[in-house]
Amino acid sequence: MAAEVKPGSMSKTAPPVNSTPFLRVDDIYLRFGGLNALSGVSFDVQQGHIQAIIGPNGAGKTCILNCICRFYQPYRGTIYFQGVDLSKVATHRVAALGIARSFQNIELFKGMTVMDNIKLGHHVHMHSGFLSGGIYLGRAKSEEMRVRKEIEERIIDLLEIEAIRKKVVGTLPYGLQKRVELARALAMKPKLLLLDEPMAGMNLEETEDMARFILDVNQEWGVTVVLIEHDMGVVMDISDNVVVLDFGTKIAQDTPLEVSKNNHVIEAYLGSDAAAHSKLGL
């Protein structure tokens, strides 16, 4: 069931549109054997925007994120991030460019504490070498203390998880684990944050909290967000722009309001009956 987010309750001021897109997905084709997962998908994401990607299960939404992160290699097309062709970037270097993501299924180290999980996200910015880090002396110790202080003051306070920072992740309820995963992604200091169904499995209160955190990260930190989400209440309320996929092709891209009135979207994604229309608030 979509979260009943009141229109305008989490609304944001849309950032200006720049002539050069922050992220450009250009004519992407992805195939698994004889199955075309993506067929000629193209869209631009402007810096400072929250870009939603919606569509039915199997539409290719997560495939797009995996292509951006270089987990998948398209057989045709190019993805540019701040003008850089990501196909020329080694997979392990993508995070260093400023791209972070969360996953549809929680991918945390369940036996470690919340703080230790979050600190792992900061690894791309660590300067201590392997040996000094292992013995935890000198430069490594001072750097670890600095990172911990920064995480506590910036991320833990923002996401309101101060009370659980020393708890083992595996003992936490699902909603808090999702929040910790967002915290770990933020510890990477991203310019672009990719979120794969961050509200999946949450109750109404948890969903509203997560939506508020995403807006705070976008507006207060200036982080550009690409969001996959099935909760249409959230998508319509916090997104600047929406891309709609169906069977690996893009069938629409526009503002949330215009997408909600698009007949192709209503038919392909929601169906044509009155109950389906209500999911988009029509």
CATH no. for residue 89? 3.40.50.300
Q: Are residues 78 and 23 in the same domain?
A: yes
Note whether 115 and 109 are within 8 A (CB). Answer: no
Residue 5 lies in a domain: no
pLDDT score, position 227: 96
Q: Are residues 130 and 247 in the same domain?
A: no
| Gap between the Cα atoms of 242 and 255, Å rounded | 6
Residue 1 lies in a domain: no
pTM score: 0.84
| Gap between the Cα atoms of 234 and 206, Å rounded | 12
Q: For residue 167, give its domain range.
A: 106-189
Q: Are residues 159 and 44 in the same domain?
A: no
Residue 26 lies in a domain: yes
pLDDT tens, position by position, 213-257: 999 999 999 999 999 998 989 999 999 999 999 999 999 999 999
Note whether 64 and 28 are within 8 A (CB). Answer: yes
pLDDT score, position 272: 57
Residue 62 lies in a domain: yes
pLDDT tens, position by position, 77-133: 999 999 999 999 998 899 989 999 998 878 889 999 999 999 887 765 554 554 444
pLDDT score, position 85: 96
Region 197-205: mean pLDDT is: 91
Residue 174 lies in a domain: yes
Residue 210 lies in a domain: no
pLDDT score, position 130: 43
| Gap between the Cα atoms of 278 and 280, Å rounded | 5
Residue 128 lies in a domain: yes
pLDDT score, position 195: 97
pLDDT tens, position by position, 19-60: 679 999 999 999 998 889 999 999 999 999 999 999 988 899
Per-residue pLDDT band for 136 (boundaries 50, 70, 90) equals low
Residue 3 lies in a domain: no
